[in-house]
Amino acid sequence: MSSDRVAAVELVNVRKFFDGGQVKALDGVDLVVQHGEYVAVTGPSGCGKSTMLHLIAALDMPTSGTLRVDGVDLGQIRSAATYRRERVGLVFQLHNLLPQLTAVQNVEIAMFGTARSRAERHREAMQLLSEVDLEGRENRPPTKLSGGERQRVAIARALANQPSLLLADEPTGNLDERSVALVTTLFDRLRAERSELTMIVVTHDNRLAGSADRLVRMRAGRVDLGADPKSSSSLERQ
């Protein structure tokens, strides 16, 4: 990480209010995430973690404040969809795979609108599924996959367009112990193998948060503190 580069993600006094200001989901968040950094965001339910992630993904707009990704103000981008396709990989708590498609097709459709040919899309989707240890399960529909497998398909889909930013919202929230371990290992591997990939993971899970470079704790719509994720006290489930 070089200090003269712009930050991967930068939030300056970001606010997000709902119901005409009655609900203050984010109330002046300042946060800088450097390129290649793996940040875990924790905090009690309703503290604004997911809202912050949605804003970074341009799924929603802040009420006020500035949000920059790679130096680009998200308030100024022409197409949020293009931004997401070109820069962002999204993983949700619920895998959000399309049930009518197979695992590989779910990954392929994320590459629609890119310059890749159909054969290239297929080859890369197969490769990604192999990277998330789903070889042999590529042609199964989500209903024929376990929860952990579905989430790994969702991660493969998030990586389909080689994003610079991976955003995951409670990716282990619905998984059993074994699957949590598998997904955590996968994030660790991504951290090790893709040094340029910036990862922001909202989680309640201590193991997943523990593998991050930095822990960001939120409370009542604000960033509470940045902690060393390896410190057990900072990983208490809140």
Q: Site residues (CB under 8 A) for another protein? A: 54, 57, 59-60, 79, 81-86, 88, 90, 92, 96-98, 100-101, 105, 108-110, 112-113, 118-119, 121-122, 157-158, 160-161
Q: How far is CA 194 from the centre of its chain?
A: 14
Q: How far is CA 161 from the centre of its chain?
A: 14
Nearest residue (CB) to another protein, 27 versus 86: 86
In whole angstroms, how close is the CB of 159 to another protein at the nearest point?
A: 11
Q: Any bridge partners for residue 168, and if so which?
A: 91, 201
In whole angstroms, how close is the CB of 90 to another protein at the nearest point?
A: 5
In whole angstroms, how close is the CB of 135 to another protein at the nearest point?
A: 17
Nearest residue (CB) to another protein, 123 versus 189: 123
Nearest residue (CB) to another protein, 86 versus 131: 86
Helices (H), the chain: 49-56, 80-87, 103-108, 118-131, 147-158, 177-193, 206-210
- Kindly calculate the radius of gyration of the chain based on its CA atoms and give it in whole angstroms: 17
Place of tokens 């629609």: 112
* Residue 6 per-residue DSSP state: P
In whole angstroms, how close is the CB of 87 to another protein at the nearest point?
A: 9
Residue 226, φ and ψ in degrees, nearest 5 = -100, 130
Nearest residue (CB) to another protein, 79 versus 185: 79
Nearest residue (CB) to another protein, 118 versus 178: 118
Give me the amino acid identity at 32: V
In whole angstroms, how close is the CB of 175 to another protein at the nearest point?
A: 19
